[in-house]
Amino acid sequence: MKIETTVVAALTLAAVATGRASPPATPAAASATSVLTIQGTRFYLDDKPFYFQGLSFFNALYNKEFNRSPETREKWLRTFKSYGITVLRVWGDWRVTNGWIDECPDCSLYVYPEMERRDRRFEPRKPRLNAEALQWLKDLLAAANRQGMAIELALFTHYLVYPVETRNEYIKLVTDELRPYRNVIFEIWNEYSEKAVEHCQLIKWLDPLRLVSNSPGGSYVRGSHAENVALDILCPHTTRRPAKGNFWEIAPLEIKQLLETYQKPVIDDEPARCGTREFGGNEETRIEWHIAQNEAVRKYGGYHIYHHDMFQLPYGNAPIPPSGIPEPEFSKFHLKMFEYLRSIAPPEITQSAR
């Protein structure tokens, strides 16, 4: 079954959902970056084929070393690109309390919650954005643009589920602020789906050409049919610990099925990884298994984000680089994957970091 979605269809759905006959009036914004688009299952940047290879860097906006200076940020982007990485997956909301690196109460795009006397309000009176975090994001988008790279931005996480009205207000604010930045994919949730279709419709209503995705749940969730039809890009978290068989053989087949059914880009968004089982890791694994999964996903026409264990413990633990940055050469295990990614990337990617 082939299913096609268009901007017109998205706007029609949004009009029904909001009861509006036309989108809200907003000033026209010239593009500040190259423009990421899709055609069928392929990505394009400024109408040229875009080589998509991602890397998890959830804490990018709140890592002190990465944001120490514009020069430092650019240096790391060049390093990533030299290994074939063209997309970073970052979280807008890092106010989690899991004991991960760089967590803090203000590590978020969102000013939330407010204080009422000595108590924190669960629902702010007037949702607003964190100006400092927003500037870091814009700086990252501009720096990525100079390297011909893109960003996948997870707007919300299942660890922090704000009221739907509050989320809608945040979506309006973020969509408006990032309108000129066309090298960023909006990923509505990390591992959750509440109101995903409605949120997608809202984004499309405000910015019809914005690419929208969603990570619908843990490694056993593929998203509902309605979600998969509405979204531009599918970002499942594929099977990590199957009851039978090998994850590196089963997960690519899940990507293949979604590609054949929905005929749009499908990203293996958080594939199986080594690391602590508490947060979804497979503990001890062989890097050859992860490489095999990447190879199979690409063979079927899907895309891959390298997911790792370099952030989901406090600083001082062996898997965590002192910088808090997913350094390609930090460990022999990860270096093997990065070297593999470099070997399959077009030379014009790895040699053009500037």
Output the domain CATH number for residue 156.
Answer: 3.20.20.80
d(CA 159, CA 335) in angstroms, rounded, equals 30
* pLDDT score of 3 more than 50: no
Phi and psi at 43, nearest 5°, equal -100, 145
HSE of 207 in the Cβ direction (CA atoms, 13 Å)? 26
96 domain-assigned: yes
Cβ burial, residue 348 (10 Å; 0-12/13-18/19+):
exposed
The boundaries of the domain holding residue 44 are: 7-18+33-350
- Whole-prediction pTM value? 0.90
Per-chain mean pLDDT for the chain: 88
- Tokens read off for 332: 């022999």
pLDDT at 274: 58
Other beta carbons less than 10 A from residue 99's beta carbon: 12
27 domain-assigned: no
Confidence band for 299, pLDDT divided at 50, 70 and 90: very high
Residue 186's DSSP bridge partners are: 153, 212
105 domain-assigned: yes
Query: Residue range 112-121: average pLDDT?
Result: 56
Beta strands (DSSP E) in 75-195 are 87-91, 110-111, 115-116, 119-120, 128-129, 150-157, 184-190
28 domain-assigned: no
- Amino acid identity of residue 114, one-letter, is E
Q: What is the pLDDT of residues 72-100, one digit of tens each?
A: 999 999 999 999 999 999 999 999 888 99
pLDDT at 283: 56
303 domain-assigned: yes
d(CA 333, CA 248) in angstroms, rounded, equals 17
d(CA 8, CA 58) in angstroms, rounded, equals 33
Helices (H) and strands (E) in the chain, counts: 10, 14
Q: Which residue has the tokens 């789906």?
A: 193
Alpha carbon of 48 to those of 37, 42, 92, 232: distances in Å?
Answer: 9, 10, 28, 18
201 domain-assigned: yes
25 domain-assigned: no
Residue 156's DSSP bridge partners are: 189
| Range of weakest confidence among 97-106, 107-116, 137-146, 304-313 | 107-116
Contacts of 209 (CB under 8 A, 6+ apart): 7, 37, 182
24 domain-assigned: no
Q: What is the pLDDT of residues 319-349, one digit of tens each?
A: 999 999 999 999 998 999 999 999 999 999 9
Q: What's the total number of domains in the chain?
A: 1
Contact 3, 223 (CB under 8 A): no
d(CA 253, CA 288) in angstroms, rounded, equals 18
* pLDDT score of 5 more than 50: no
Contact 198, 15 (CB under 8 A): no
Angle made by CA atoms 309, 217, 201, in degrees to the nearest 5: 120
